[in-house]
Amino acid sequence: TGKEKWPRGDEKVWKAGMRSLDKDVESITKSFVNHVQTSLARQAHNLDDLGAYQAAALSVRDNLLVNWNKTQLQYMRKSPKRAYYLSLEFLMGRTLDNALLNLGLKDEYKDGVRLLGFNIEDILEQERDAALGNGGLGRLAACYLDSSASQELPLWGYGLRYKYGIFKQLISPEGNQLEAPDPWLEHQNPWELPRLDVAYEVRFYGRAERLGDGSGRALWTGGQEVLAIAYDVMIPGYNTATTNNLRLWESKPKRGFDLNSFNAGNYEGALSRFVVLFADFFAYRTFGKELRLKQQYFWTAASLSDILRRFKNLNKPMSEFPEFVAIQLNDTHPTLAIPELMRILIDEEDLHWDAAWKIVTNTFFYTNHTVLPEALEKWSVPLVEHVLPRHMQIIYDIVGPIYFCTLIILHLTCQLDRTCFSSKASVSFIYARLCALTMIKTVAVEKKFPGDRERLARMSLIEEGQPKQVRMAHLACVGSRKVNGVAELHSDLVRTTILKDFVEFEGISKFGNVTNGITPRRWLDQCNPELSALITKALKLEKSVWLKDLTKLEGLLPFAENKAFRKEWAGIKQRNKERLAHYIETTLGLTINTKALFDVQIKRLHEYKRQTLNILGVIHRYLTLKNMTPAQRKKVNNRVVFFAGKAAPGYYIAKLTIRLIVNVARTINADPDTRDYLTLYFLPDYSVSLAEVLIPASDISQHISTAGTEASGTSNMKFCLNGGLLLGTVDGANIEIAEEVGESNVFFFGHLTPAVEDLRYQHLYHHIPIEKKCPALAHVLNQVSLGLFGDNEVYEPLLNTIRQGDYYLLSDDFDSYIAALAMVDEAYSDTEEWIKKSIRTTAKMGKFSSDRAINEYAESYWNIEATPITPHS
Ligand code: B1H
């Protein structure tokens, strides 16, 4: 009942039994040895590094739990408004090092394990990455969790507990990407708490029958039910007791599951596959669509049940739900939460449609992460009808009439068949519904857009066609209180392209921008400890001060003029290069020239990101070097180019790009004429942990997407924070980085966003042969075609994407790209000036802390406040 006195028994005895935080080496070694003895059932004589990692992790976890319990208890007592971050991906990487730094116990653990005969770095290396995501979107979610806890904001994450993370990438002898499963849970995962008691039922399929009483309610029965079981992951804040929660759902057959039924035999085969990450943005369009839809529903339904249960414990009227709950939709993947909350409120809580809709549209917030048309989610209406019949009804009701009355009117006027709209009827539906949503009187709308049927078709949540499709971005937009993009340019594009009609209809104030951010804890302090220490020394501030107010980095600016400081700065970069070289030497057996400019492009392989432009630029450099005399070559800057990144398993052109990179590397690294001046590496199996070694070692990093295609990018921020300079197009967050650090400290090239459409038009209708338009590029393409890198003919489909159509405008940007690379060479030759640029870049990166971003969400979107956790409660 919640009214009973607690604790039961003697409070003093309870208190005396409570574990407290470890603070000194002695209590740490004690806890470590205890865990070896009991949790692991091992002993000193048979403990290897992996065992030591597990013991260390378990003892750190105990510390996290002390704070976690405190945090959750105080959230319960103070009942602040809470935010929930629904993301299908959380790319957490490793946890131990981060937890040690956030708890402020790294040195103590280092000393403790040394006393026991272990080395902390070796122990940290034992941990597997938690790679429950594809790329930037998933890593952003992880950074936001770190920032929410660090800023003491009451925020929980909700995701799926995938059995397999993103595939492990192998490279075959021919240079092809191969995919192997990533059984990341193979060893016990010390960072999760199974909550077998937190379970919810989730239904699929079956029948939905409207009650027909005018209430709008329906009965959804039959089909298949599964259980969602919670696993909790502790999210420690930096230098604070706040420890938030990431709740991941696992599926389990329902108890009393009919073992004789058709479903029973199917469980292992079909439902357990829930827990496999879709490592392919687009693959599920052709394969496994139903599975992906079920994943999305399973996770949103379980999360909503959990959120509602917590709200109900407050004993408040349902109408106050949005005063206690804000739900952030990380892209459209959790959009089914909108019809699901409608279903719960109407069918289970007996609310009137309009009251329910008011709650929903004050609860949800939607972040868009891409404007690329092929990446906008759409679900086929027959599929949704099959898997989630009730939700399909609700979606129709959202797009449809102002409840009931309009339904009847439309029935009369359009002879409407509810499951098979004529285009006209669908248009009328959305028209009427949107009038209700936005409280704009029909008359006003008529005045605003008289007879604008095309507009209404564009705005519809249902796209006409075979089959009809639900446009998830439109549903997320109409069902949310606010919508945002992830960088200024991108948010502008959202407002002027994909959601333009909605902006005109609902008003611009609903459509904002929150420029992405990264956590400086992982992406500076943890991955670049030497630089972090130097900054602390220079700023004469506690590390905990500038790591939580990153704008303090500006204090580094005067040090750019200090020669001794520059030497220290450059020395750290050099040692980070050697650390990377050592890593590559031990993992891949390759020797890297560390006396060279390190040039890095690491990200998912995608045509719009233009890794192809980069590799063609490398070939151009190679051909130029080949044409030089040895004396001329000696004057050229040495350059080592690194690529890393995964291609979606079904993305043929992206995989071909990897193959080209690998084979170009093979040829040029073996060429005695040039290999002292230019080498190239494709590092397999890119991951968060690999990024942590690569980023601090880079002199220049490439972010070279076709203008207007990269929503933000976040690795650009990571490189610049670590004093790497940026070579990029005028796209995404590159623009804001340049605004901060000054254009003289970045290398920009290429056409701007407004030109892109015209250029594409020219490619289609006024095609100029590449030989004429860009001879340098034509020459490079020909060399590839002629087999300079072996594999006659295999690369033709890739080269043809440039020769014909050239949708991503490589031929338009190639010359300016080569010119920008030359400017990089020139700037790098002036060592002292280069180091100044590097220092100034780091100094001006304060804006890109995810603390700034999460506070913007908290204040301008969710309306939640910091809730400090007091140590004694
Ligand atoms: C981004 C995605 C994405 N945008 C679909 N969109 C996915 C879309 O599995 N899927 O279905 C997965 C991911 N990811 C990235 O988000 C943008 O491309 C980056 O520019 C941006 O920095 C990042 C975070 O906002």
Residue boundaries of the structural domains of the chain: 17-78+95-128, 132-166+192-367, 377-514, 573-858
Give the residue-averaged pLDDT of 658-673: 98
For position 450, what pLDDT does the model report? 65
Span 712-742, pLDDT tens digits: 999 999 999 999 999 999 999 999 999 999 9
Tell me if residue 685 falls in helix, strand or coil. Answer: coil
Give the residue-averaged pLDDT of 129-133: 95
pLDDT digits (tens, 9 = 90+) for 531-554: 999 999 999 999 999 999 999 999
CATH 3.40.50.2000 for domain 132-166+192-367, yes or no, is yes
Q: Is 606 a catalytic residue?
A: no
User: Above pLDDT 90, what percent of the chain?
Assistant: 84
| Inter-CA distances, 615 with 656, 750, 811, Å | 12, 16, 14
Q: Using the predicted structure, report yes or no on whether residue 268 has a pLDDT greater than 50.
A: no
Any ligand 1 atom below 6 A from CB of 280: no
Give the residues across from 780 on adjacent strands. Answer: none
- 486 CB near ligand 1 (under 6 Å): yes
Decide: helix, strand or coil at residue 643.
strand
DSSP structure string for 332-386 = STTTTHHHHHHHIIIIIT---HHHHHHHHHHHEEEE-----GGGS-EEEHHHHHH
Candidates 85, 137, 848: which one to mutate for ligand 1, based on the most atoms within 8 Å of Cβ? 137
Say how many Å lie between the CA of residue 484 and the centre of ligand 1. Answer: 14
Model confidence at 347: pLDDT above 90: yes
DSSP symbols for 384-416:
HHHH-HHHHHHHHHHHS-STTHHHHHHHHHH--
Given pLDDT bands bounded at 50, 70 and 90, which one contains residue 216? confident
Distance 369 CA to ligand 1 centre (A): 5
Atom 10 (ligand 1): residue with closest C-alpha? 281
The more confidently predicted of residues 284 and 389 is 389
Is 573-858 the same fold as 132-166+192-367?
Answer: yes
Does the CB atom of residue 165 touch ligand 1 within 6 A?
no
Ligand 1 in reach of 732 Cβ (< 6 A): yes
pLDDT category at 604 given cuts 50, 70, 90 is very high
Q: Is 715 in the pocket of ligand 1 (CB under 6 A)?
A: no
Dihedral sign of CA atoms 372, 374, 375, 381 in order: positive
Fold classification of 573-858 is Rossmann fold (3.40.50)
466: pLDDT confidence band, cut at 50, 70 and 90?
very high
Separation of alpha carbons 121 and 559, rounded Å: 31
Q: Which of 413-427, 622-636, 657-671 is predicted least confidently?
A: 413-427
Q: pLDDT at position 2, please?
A: 54
Tell me the per-residue pLDDT of 644-655, one tens digit each, with 9 for 90 and over. Answer: 999 999 999 999
Closest alpha carbon to 606 in 651, 659, 661: 651
Gap between the Cα atoms of 159 and 57, Å rounded? 22
Burial of 358 (0-12, 13-18, 19+ CB in 10 A): middle
pLDDT-based confidence at residue 426 (cuts at 50, 70, 90):
very low
Lowest mean pLDDT among 200-209, 211-220, 408-417: 408-417
Residue 809 has which token pair? Answer: 């405008």
413 is an active site residue = no
**Residue-wise pLDDT tens digits, 221-234:** 999 999 999 999 99
How remote is the CA of residue 341 from the centroid of ligand 1, in Å? 25
What ligand 1 atom has the least distance to the C-alpha of 732?
20
254 is catalytic: no
Q: Model confidence over 48-81: pLDDT tens digits?
A: 999 999 999 999 999 999 999 999 999 999 999 9
Binding site membership of 516 for ligand 1 (Cβ less than 6 Å):
yes
Contact 366, 326 (CB under 8 A): no
628 — pLDDT class (breaks 50, 70, 90): very high
Residue 440 has pLDDT above 70, yes or no: no
Query: What SS3 string covers 81-97?
Result: CEEEEECCCEEEECCHH
Q: What is the pTM of this model?
A: 0.94
Residue 140 alpha carbon, nearest atom of ligand 1: 24
Report the alpha-carbon distance of residue 816 to residue 752 in Å, rounded.
12
The DSSP symbol for 164 reads B
Which residue has the least CA distance to atom 16 on ligand 1? 137
Tokens linked to 867: 């809730």
Residue 253 has a pLDDT of 86
Quick: pLDDT tens for 76-100.
Answer: 999 999 999 999 999 999 999 999 9
**How would residue 482 be classed by pLDDT, with cut points 50, 70 and 90?**
very high
Quote the pLDDT of residue 279. Answer: 53
Contact 264, 254 (CB under 8 A): no
The active-site residue out of 300, 714, 801, 842 is 714
CB 166 within 8 A of CB 277: yes
Tell me, in angstroms, the distance from the centre of ligand 1 to residue 178's CA.
23
Tokens of 115: 């006393």
Task: Find out whether the beta carbon of 137 lies less than 6 Å from any atom of ligand 1.
Answer: yes
Pocket test of ligand 1: the residue of 296, 369, 734 to mutate, having most ligand atoms within 8 Å of its CB, is 369
Q: Is the pLDDT of residue 480 over 50?
A: yes
Question: Is 371 a pocket residue for ligand 1 (Cβ < 6 Å)?
Answer: no
Specify whether 500 is catalytic: no
- Cα–Cα distance between 155 and 864 in angstroms, integer? 9
C-alpha span between 227 and 824 (Å, rounded) = 56
Residue nearest atom 12 in ligand 1 by C-alpha distance: 281
Instruction: Report yes or no: 156 and 80 within 8 Å, Cβ to Cβ.
Output: no
Q: What pLDDT score was predicted for residue 455?
A: 77
Mean pLDDT score across all residues of the chain: 91
- Active-site pick, 35, 391, 481, 718: 718
Q: Does the beta carbon of 136 lie inside 6 Å of ligand 1?
A: yes
Higher model confidence: residue 284 or residue 476? 476
Residue with tokens 């009919």: 258
> Tokens for 735?
């623009």
Q: Ligand 1 pocket, 140 CB below 6 A?
A: yes
Strands (E), 660-799: 678-682, 700-703, 725-729, 746-749
pLDDT in tens, 779-815: 999 999 999 999 879 999 999 999 999 999 999 999 9
Residue 362 one-letter amino acid: N
pLDDT of residue 452: 72
